[in-house]
Amino acid sequence: MLLLKYLLLTTGYGLLGLAATIALNNLYKVVQYRRQLGKTGPVNQPSEAFASARAADAEAPAAPQLHWTTAKWAVLAAWLPLILAGGIAVVPSGMGGIRVSQTSGTRPGTLYPGAHFVTPLVDSVVLYDIRDQVLTTSSSSRNAAESFAGSKSETEKGRRPDVFTVQSKEGLNVGMAITVRYRLDAHRLDYIHANLPQPVERELVPPVVASVFRELAPSYTVREVFATRREEIRQMAASLITSRLGTDGIIVKEVMLRDIQLPEEYAKGLEDLLLKEQKDEGMTVETSMKAKQVKIAELEAEAAKIQQVKEAEGAAEVHVLEAKAEADAMQYTLPLKEKQIQQSRLEAEARKEATVKNAEAQAEAKVIDSKAELQRRDLLADAEAGRIRKIAAADNERMKTEAVLLRQNPLLINKIIAERLSDKLQVMMVPSDSKIFFNDVMKGGISPDMLDKDNDKTAPAIEDDDASNEATRPTSQPALPARRAEVRRK
C-alpha cells in the first residue's frame, strides 16, 4: 500500500508538472507571436492602413497552436492520484493514530504503525506517541537548573522541570523531586482525543500528579515525609495516580520519589536532632549489646557449670556401671578361668607324656641305629677282608705270572725297579745283543740263577707293597697292571 501511495503521488505530481510545462510553452509561443506582430509599426492614414493591411496579410506570420486544453485536462487528471494518495495514511513506529472525520467526528479504533486507507478529503489522521513518557519535577530551583542542563530530552523540548512543593502537617513547604513514567493506552486513543484536553502530557498528567501529592502531604509531618514514612507516601501516591489516570486511558508504570528538599532552617535543626537521636540510639544499642553480652556470659558460665556437673555425674555413673559390669563379668569369668587352668594342666600332662614317648622313641631309634651301624660295619669289614683276600690272590697270581716273565726276560726287572723307585727316572730300552757298556756289565754281573732268587725274594715284598698301596691308595691300582701289560706286550 505504501508503494501504491508513492506511485500515485509520483503520477499526480508528474501530471501537474506536465500541465505546467504545457502552459509555459503556450506563454512562450504567445510572447514570440506578439513580438513578431509588433515589428510592422503604427499606421496613420486610412489608405495607407488599407494598403499596409493587405501587405501584412501577405507577410504576417501564422498564429501559433496553443494546447491550453491539454494543460487543463492534465491538471484535472493530476488531482485524482493526489486525492487517492492522500487517502493512504502512514503511521510511523512508536506512534498510534486515530481517524477524525469532518462529518462524524472521531472514529473508533486505533491505527497502529503501518499504512492505512482513509476516506480522502473527509477523514484525517491524528498521531499520538504511544511510547513511554516521563514527567519530571524538581525539589528546588537549583536542582531544576541542574536537571535541565543534564537532561537531553528536556533540553530538546525546551522545557525545564517544574519546581514542585507541598505543605506538611506543620505548614512548612517541602520540595519534592518526582518522576512518573507512563504511556497512553493505544486501545483508547479515540477516547483520549475526543474527551481529554490536548496535549495530555501538559494539560492532564502534571495536575493529577501534583494534586495527589498535595492531598497526601498535609497528613504527615516533615520528619515523616523525609525519613520514616517516605516509602509509604510514595506507594499511596502511586496507587492514587494509577487509578485516576487509568480511568482516562493513561497507563502509569512507575512513580519515583527521587528527592525531598526541606527548608534550610528546619533541615539544619532536623539534622542536629537526627544526629542526637542517632547517638542516643547508638548508646542504647551499645548498652543493650553489653547487657546481652553480660547475660550471655552468665548463661555460658551457668551452662559450663551444669555441663561440668553433668559430666561428673556421668563419669560416676560410668564408673558404677563399669564396676557392676566387672562384677558380673567375674561371675562368668571364674568358671571359665578354672576350665582354662584345667585345660592348661591337661595340655601340660599331654605334652609331658608326648615328650617322654618321644625321648623313648628317640632312644630306641638310636639303639636301632647303633645296631644297624654295627652290623653295617661288620658287613663292610667282612666285605673288605674278602676283597683284600681276593686282591691278594690276584696279586699272587700276577706275581707268579710276572716271575715267569722275568725269568724269560731278566732285563724287565730294571724297568720295574726304576718305576718303583721314582717316576722321574727315564728308562732306556736297548737290545740285548747290542755292544753297550751297561749291557755288558749287567750281563757279566747278573746270572739267571741270581735273577730267579731275587724274583722269589722280591715277589712277597712286591705283593705286600701292592696290598698296602691298594689299601691306602685305591685310585692308583689300575696304573701298575697297565704298565705290566705294556711290558708283556713288549
**Portion of the chain with pLDDT greater than 90, in percent:** 9
What does the pLDDT read at residue 79? 78
Please, which pLDDT band fits residue 250 given cuts at 50, 70 and 90? very high
Summarize the confidence of residues 238-244 as an average pLDDT.
92
pTM exceeds cut of 0.75: no
- Looking at the predicted structure, is the pLDDT value of residue 239 above 90? yes
Residue 188, CA atoms < 13 Å, CB-side half-sphere: 14
The 10s digit of each residue's pLDDT in 411-423 is 777 777 767 665 5
Q: How many CB atoms lie within 10 A of CB 189?
A: 23
Whether pLDDT at 190 is above 50: yes
- Closest by alpha carbon to 477, among 418, 376, 394, 360? 394
Calculate mean pLDDT across residues 467-477.
Answer: 43
Where b means 16+ CB within 10 Å and e means fewer, 392-425 reads eeebeebbeebbeebeeebebbebbeebeeeeee
Residue 257 banded pLDDT, cuts 50, 70, 90: confident
User: Where does the pLDDT of residue 425 fall: very low under 50, low under 70, confident under 90, or very high at 90 and above?
Assistant: low
The 8-class DSSP code of residue 253 comes to: E
Cα 121–127–131 angle (5° rounding)? 165
Q: Rounded to a whole number, what is the distance in angstroms from the first to the last CA of the chain?
A: 152
Query: Phi first, then psi: what are they for 134, rounded to 5°?
Result: -125, 130
**What CA–CA distance (Å, rounded) separates 484 from 412?**
10
In this structure, are strands 114-117 and 88-91 parallel, antiparallel, or unpaired? antiparallel
Lowest mean per-residue pLDDT among 183-187, 404-408, 440-444: 440-444
Beta-carbon count within 10 A of 480 CB: 19
Highest mean pLDDT among 31-45, 138-152, 339-353, 424-438: 339-353
pLDDT confidence tier of residue 201, bands split at 50, 70 and 90: confident
Q: For residue 215, what are the CA distances in angstroms to 164, 263, 361, 436?
A: 13, 20, 129, 177
* Res. 488 pLDDT band, cuts 50 70 90: very low
The candidate with the shortest Cα–Cα distance to 40, out of 30, 49, 31, is 49
Write down the mean pLDDT value for the chain. Answer: 76
User: Between 342 and 452, whose confidence is greater?
Assistant: 342
> Confidence class of residue 45 from pLDDT cuts 50, 70 and 90?
very low
